[in-house]
Amino acid sequence: MTLPVPMRADAPRLGTFGGGLDLGRTVTDSCFVIDSPQQLLNCHVVSPFTAQMQVKLFGSYQLPFELMVSGTLQNQSGPEILATYTAPNSAIAPALGRNLASCGAAAVCNGTAAVPLIAPQTMFEDRRTQLDLRLSKFVRLGRKLRLQANFDVYNALNASSLLGINTAYGAQWRFPVTSLATGAGVLDGRLVEFSGQLTF
């Protein structure tokens, strides 16, 4: 269940302000056994509202001397913290009374089993807050020519929020890692950019 709440307000000759709130909760229930009672472990998972809540605000404001300031602010949940321990057969067999089924009839078993140490959707890294700002100057160069010079600051607060973490329990657990979703393990640092646009 998600509940997006967009909003927008226009102030004539001054600027535009708006934003949105995306709030929801997901329940996953797969509590039935097909092959092994192990399937009942963490079979009922409830994602809290805070895990999926996103807040986004934007605005622009006209200043004197043909200047305009604008910006966006977004706040999102940090990545989920999981810990998966890869248990070797040598640690499992004494309690199980036999080798893992994946070993078959092998004389030496190198099989492993993934053991979740943290229940899903119960722990998260700190939320990510990112502020991007722009200052624009408009200059008329004639009847039709108009120059817009921009000064942009991305991640103005220089946040170093984690975007992806290693969930395999071990020496590198919770270290930043790149992922297909984010492309980076840590939010890029503050970036300053100058740009322009010529309209004719």
Instruction: Give the 3-state DSSP-derived string for 34-96, with helices as H, strands as E and coil as C.
Output: CCCHHHHCCCEEEECHHHHCEEEEEEEEEECCCEEEEEEEEEECCCECCCEEEEEHHHHHHHH
Segments of the chain with pLDDT less than 50:
none
Query: What is the pLDDT, as a whole number, of residue 121?
Result: 94
Taking the C-alpha atoms of residue 116 and residue 169, their distance in angstroms, rounded to an integer, is: 9
Query: What is the pLDDT, as a whole number, of residue 4?
Result: 59
Domain ranges for the chain: 2-83+118-199, 85-116
Phi/psi region, residue 72 (left: phi>0; alpha: psi -120 to 50; beta: rest), is beta
DSSP characters over 53-68: -EEEEEEEEEETTTEE
Instruction: Name residue, tokens 């009374």.
Output: 97
Question: Rounded to 5, what percent of the chain is helix, strand, coil?
Answer: 10, 50, 40
DSSP 8-state assignment for residue 127: P
Query: What is the pLDDT, as a whole number, of residue 13?
Result: 61
Task: List Cα–Cα distances, 34 to 38, 52, 53, 127, in angstroms.
Answer: 10, 31, 34, 38
pLDDT in tens, 134-164: 999 999 888 889 999 999 999 999 999 999 9
| 98-114 CB burial, b ≥16 within 10 A, e <16 | ebbeeeeeeeebebbbe
Query: What is the pLDDT, as a whole number, of residue 9?
Result: 62
Instruction: Name residue, tokens 């979740």.
Output: 116
Query: What is the pLDDT, as a whole number, of residue 167?
Result: 93
DSSP 8-state assignment for residue 52: H
Q: What is this structure's pTM? A: 0.77
The partner residues of 138 in beta bridges, in order of sequence, read 148
